[in-house]
C-alpha cells in the first residue's frame, strides 16, 4: 500500500484572477503575478501546491520564486523528505501584500517619471 502525503491545493477565485490580470496589465510578468497572488491567498505553500494552484510548470515557478525572493517579497524554507529524495521547499510572503503593492507602486511611479523625462528630452530636439 502506498501512502501519499495529503495536501490541500488552493485554486484561484475570480477576484484573484482579476488581481493577476491587473498586475500583468501594469507590466508584471504573468508567472510572477500568478505566484504572488497565489501566495497572498495562502499562508504557506509547497512548490508543488503552487504548480497545481497556478497551473504552471515547475521551471516557471522556479524562475518566478527566484525573482520574488530577490525582491524580498517571499521567503522559503525546506522540509526534510519523508523518505529519500530532495527536501520540499515551502514558500510564503516575506512581507504583507500591501507592502509589496507599495513597492510596485513606487517602481511604477519611477518608471513613469523616467518616461516623461525622456519625452521632455525629445521635445528639446523640436525647439
Q: Flag whether 35 is in a domain.
A: yes
Residues 6+ apart with CB under 8 A from 88: 46, 47, 48, 78, 79, 81
Q: Dig out the grid coordinates for 96 from the structure.
A: 504583507
Q: Flag whether 118 is in a domain.
A: no
Q: Flag whether 40 is in a domain.
A: yes
Helices (H) and strands (E) in the chain, counts: 5, 3
> Is pLDDT of 5 > 50?
no
CB 11 within 8 A of CB 49: no
The residue range of the domain holding 36 is: 14-95
The residue ranking higher by pLDDT, 95 or 6, is: 95
E strands, the chain, where? 45-46, 74-79, 88-93
pLDDT, tens only, 31-75 = 999 999 999 999 899 999 999 999 999 999 999 999 999 999 999
pLDDT value at residue 81:
80
Give the CATH number of the domain where residue 35 resides. 1.10.10.10
pLDDT, tens only, 67-95 = 999 999 999 999 888 788 888 899 999 99
Q: Dig out the grid coordinates for 78 from the structure.
A: 525546506
pLDDT value at residue 7:
52
Task: Using pLDDT thresholds of 50, 70 and 90, give the confidence band for residue 9.
Answer: low
For 102, the enclosing helix (H) or strand (E) is helix 97-124
Q: Flag whether 122 is in a domain.
A: no
What's this model's pTM, rounded to 2 decimal places? 0.82
Total domain count, the chain: 1
Q: Flag whether 31 is in a domain.
A: yes
Amino acid at each position: 500500500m502506498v501512502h501519499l502525503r495529503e495536501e490541500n491545493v488552493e485554486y484561484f477565485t475570480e477576484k484573484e484572477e482579476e488581481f493577476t490580470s491587473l498586475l500583468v496589465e501594469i507590466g508584471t510578468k504573468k508567472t510572477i503575478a500568478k505566484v504572488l497572488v497565489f501566495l497572498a491567498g495562502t499562508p504557506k505553500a509547497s512548490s508543488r501546491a503552487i504548480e497545481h494552484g497556478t497551473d504552471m510548470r515547475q521551471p516557471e515557478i522556479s524562475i518566478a520564486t527566484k525573482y520574488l525572493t530577490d525582491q524580498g517579497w517571499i521567503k522559503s524554507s525546506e522540509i526534510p523528505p519523508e523518505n529519500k529524495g530532495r527536501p520540499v521547499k515551502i514558500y510564503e510572503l516575506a512581507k504583507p501584500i500591501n507592502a509589496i503593492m507599495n513597492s510596485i507602486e513606487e517602481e511604477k511611479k519611477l518608471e513613469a517619471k523616467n518616461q516623461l523625462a525622456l519625452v521632455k528630452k525629445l521635445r528639446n530636439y523640436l525647439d
